[in-house]
Amino acid sequence: MNEVVEYQNQFNKVALRGFTANELDLLIAIASKMKRQEGKVIEFEFSDLKEYVKLKRNFTDLEFKEEILRVNKKLLGLNVLFKTPTEEYEEYTQFALFTKFTTNMDRKTLKVKVNEEFYYLLNVLDKEFTRFELEEFVDLKSSYSKECYRRLKQWRKTGKWYVKIEEFRRLLSVPETYRMCDIDKWVLEPIYDELSKIFEDFTIKKIKKGRKVTELHFIFSDREIFKQQGTNFFEKNKENIEKNKENIANRIKSESEDEFFENLRNRENKRLK
């Protein structure tokens, strides 16, 4: 499986509330297959769909049907809201991503019809869009890691995602009852554990106003971007970078992200000279 997912950055503003990791996999798998399709209807075979989402256990056809019907119901209720910037007035657009699911047990197929507006988000790409590999997304275990991963891929060129804590809670559907210590343990720790294996120099910085955390800064380097630029920095310095990572005692960094990032670069560049 080497499917590539691409969509307009607007889709990253949608909070997929209450979606499990498996449900996110199914949604993104559908999105990847809708890319550059002539029509707005696509048909999946059960066997292909199981391969795309890498189910963690073997489902019988009957169990898989029940799983699909449950996920379909949730996806049919998924609505998005976009604010359209205008000079004269505020305008908001709301629409459902999917309009129809047809599950055929005799043929063991799932037919999906997407809304025209969602089709547009997947197929009419602006200069700035989100792009990543489906397999890499599916391999992530935590739903928080998956949702953070998508946003980092949006900012893959700059290697920085700065987000207000309230917006972070909304986008990743963090329970309202979670205190910052809960977010550290159940949200940021899984994110760090998984995404530090994908992104180089991965760091999370908490920005505080007094004692209260007001922002989160995610700092990282995307291998794909460096390859496009012809840079083999990571390959030449993989051993040194790993040693530097071992010396980072705290996973959630409190130092300046610019200082940390520049210091790491400077140390590795000195070794090259």
The string of DSSP codes covering 117-137 is HHHHHHHS--SSEEEEEHHHH
Residue 263, pLDDT score:
56
pLDDT of residue 164: 97
| Residue-wise pLDDT tens digits, 181-194 | 999 999 999 999 99
pLDDT tens for 202-247 read 999 999 999 999 999 999 998 776 555 555 545 545 554 455 455 4
Residue 69 and residue 58: Cα distance in Å, rounded? 17
- Determine the Cα–Cα distance for residues 184 and 230; give it in Å rounded to an integer: 36
Averaged confidence pLDDT in the chain: 81
User: What pLDDT shows up at residue 141?
Assistant: 92
What is the pLDDT at residue 41? 86
| The pLDDT value given to residue 255 | 47
pLDDT of residue 271: 37
- Spans of the chain, pLDDT less than 70: 1, 36-39, 56-57, 84-87, 126, 225-273
